[in-house]
Structure 1
Amino acid sequence: MSPEQPPTAGACSDAGTESLEELRAAPPQQDADGQPVWPAADPSRPVGKGNPPRGRRSQSHKPRATHMEVETRIAEAQLWIAQRLPLAQIREKAAHNWGITNIKTVSRYLALARQRMVEELISDRRRHQAEQIFALNDCARRAMDAEQFNAAVGAFRVIAEIGGLLRAPIKPPEPRA
């Protein structure tokens, strides 16, 4: 890829897919309630690389997230990003809601959330344009009700730009001598 060419959506998607699959890597099964089911070590085989010992887990140990938990966390991270929360507050919420204190794990969830937001924006561009135009119409209506006509004109100008009716700033014609 040359320096002039922007990265393609496929390149970002591959890295995101790998991160997503890594988060989804374990456990292999879930019970009827969606709780992870961990395979037990085989007592007939000697303890080694393929047969880990049955260790006691600490009280604070939390098993890896299931598929549904990962998707829920990504959606929640998208909400926090959309709310423009500071990173420190996002980490605090992740620790409280998800039980994750590892900064790298929280950063991976945030990266996936950002990537999905960009992909949704690109794929649903017309819907996003319609939402913005609707919101600006409401803003212009409220500005006119408050007799703030400059704000209303500005909102209508942005609506025209979004709709593709207006490409450049409106300039008065130069006087001809």
Structure 2
Amino acid sequence: MPLRAANQAAADPVEELRSAPDQQDADGESLWAPVAVDPSRPISQTNPPRRAPHHAQTPRATAGEVERRIAEAQLWIAQRLPLLEIRAKAGESWGVSNVKTVNRYLDLARMRMVEELISDRRRHQAEQIFALNDCARRAMDAEQFSAAVGAFRVIAEIGGLLRAPIKPPEAKS
């Protein structure tokens, strides 16, 4: 048993979230067949109860579908949508109404966003500096010089030219 627990802990989060169907066709669609229930036998783990028609079983998401859902979740996070709206969109787009499942997709999307930010930090810094330069230029054109100075200060902080705060910390007595 301890070996199995170690293998489960090292599993890929996407694969764990996916709980993949055993077989997929060439397009990545699942080859899924619903489990038949024998009404003459008593209910057990090998003979689950019949489900009501409104609880129809759906196939598990394929690898491509999971990646699409994660990318969509990253977009919603980047758009700073409220959690209630994200859950509603997940229900519409994915057919997922379970809050825990939606949260798992969101956690994985956030984790990937952080990994991308860390791995591509220089490009991200350059994008921020370019955007702040544009902001400072527009502030100077509008004669809002304090805003322009603030933008240049942030540029210097991002670029590593300014390490210490401009104002010294106030002494606590």
Using the size of structure 1 for normalisation, the TM-score is: 0.73
Q: Which residue among 107, 111, 136 is the counterpart of 1:111?
A: 107
Structure 2 contact 156–162 (Cα < 8 Å) conserved? yes
Task: Please give the secondary structure, in 2, of the residue aligned with 1:37.
Answer: coil
- Report the number of matched residues: 155
Aligned-residue identity in percent:
73
Task: Tell me, yes or no, if structure 1 residue 158 matches structure 2 residue 154.
Answer: yes
1:138-157 per-position Cα deviation (integer Å, ceiling 9, x unaligned): 11111112111111111011
Q: Which residue among 135, 138, 150 is the counterpart of 1:139?
A: 135
* Other-structure match for 1:86: 82
Change (3 A) 1:36 1:56: farther
Change (3 A) 1:31 1:67: same
Distance 1:64 1:78 in 2: 21
Distance 1:40 1:88 in 2: 32
* Other-structure match for 2:23: 29
Q: Aligned-residue CA RMSD in angstroms?
A: 3.2
Deviation at 1:60, TM superposition (A): 4.8
Structure 2 contact 34–57 (Cα < 8 Å) conserved? no
Extract unaligned runs of 5+ from structure 1. 1-13, 42-46, 173-177
Deviation at 1:106, TM superposition (A): 0.3
* Other-structure match for 2:61: 65
Structure 1 contact 16–115 (Cα < 8 Å) conserved? no
Distance 2:155 2:162 in 1: 9
